[in-house]
Amino acid sequence: MREILVTTLSAFILTPFALLSLSLAAAQVMQSGSYRIQSDSINIGGGFSTSSNYELESTGGEVATGESSSASYQLKAGYQQMQEVYIALSGFGSVTLTPSIPGISGGFSNGSTTITTVTDSSSGYELLISSSVSPAMQKGSDTIADYVPAGAVPDFSFTTDAADAHLGYSPEGADVAVRFLDNGSSCGVGSLDTTFSCWDGLSTTPVSIASRTTANHPIGSTTTVHFRVGVGGSVLQPPGTYVATTTITALPL
């Protein structure tokens, strides 16, 4: 019997997946159920100044500002010194693809993970996905190919021929990248985010799967990444546990 599990930490045909990420955190000085103030400042002047070519934020009246450091600490004193962009990832976890895929008839196995991205960057964020090796799913010297769309954009439907065996992914969410949006039949066009549509293959080169151009702190935005393995009925795929490791990266813009 061929089984498949994918985990995002490790996946049987059986297929586990590993999902790694960078997660940053920050404290708030004041908060309630509807707001958070990450930092505050008491001063006698400053504010925003803008023109068609620049935007300036200034403060006045603060004393002893600037950077100080020693072998055991680093201090950034003053509102303008300490203020940094906050970005964090949460919610993702190990993914197991189900059901197991039998060796005689082949079939499909599915799993998903949901990622929440939070940032206070006024320019928003970008979420990228990549695999550690190519093809992503491997068991020793045995591999399952990464899904390859028919054209330059993802395939609206996941297609597996009798002689195919491959792993694909499909993201969905409010901030999903344009190339994963659809018009009901094709991807890269329209504004729909049809569930289980627009399938692509993993790559060692990071690919953008979601982005936004405004801050979303403190609530954040969720992106669900669906994984699917398809094995055709005439494929002699060696049985065992296949593992794929993926990396999710969040960048403030």
pLDDT of residue 243: 85
Does the pLDDT at position 98 exceed 60? yes
- What mean pLDDT comes out for the span 226-242? 90
Give me 143's structure tokens. Answer: 């591999």
Give me 181's structure tokens. Answer: 């949006």
Other CB atoms within a 10 A radius of the CB of residue 133 amount to 13
Name the more confident of 94 and 189.
189
**Taking the complete model, does pTM exceed 0.75, yes or no?**
no
Give me 140's structure tokens. Answer: 């020793």
**120-139: pLDDT as tens digits:** 888 899 999 999 899 999 99
3-state secondary structure 203-235: CCCCEEEEEECCCCCCCCEEEEEEEEEEECCCC
pLDDT of residue 52: 86
If you ran DSSP here, which 8-state letter would residue 82 be given? H
Q: Where are the domains of the chain?
A: 16-27+86-252
At residue 140's C-alpha, the angle toward residues 163 and 93, to 5°, is 90
pLDDT of residue 93: 77
- The secondary structure element, H or E, covering residue 79 is helix 79-82
* Spatial contact of 167 and 229, defined as CB atoms under 8 Å apart: yes
Does the pLDDT at position 212 exceed 90? yes
- What mean pLDDT comes out for the span 66-77? 78
**114-124: pLDDT as tens digits:** 999 999 888 89
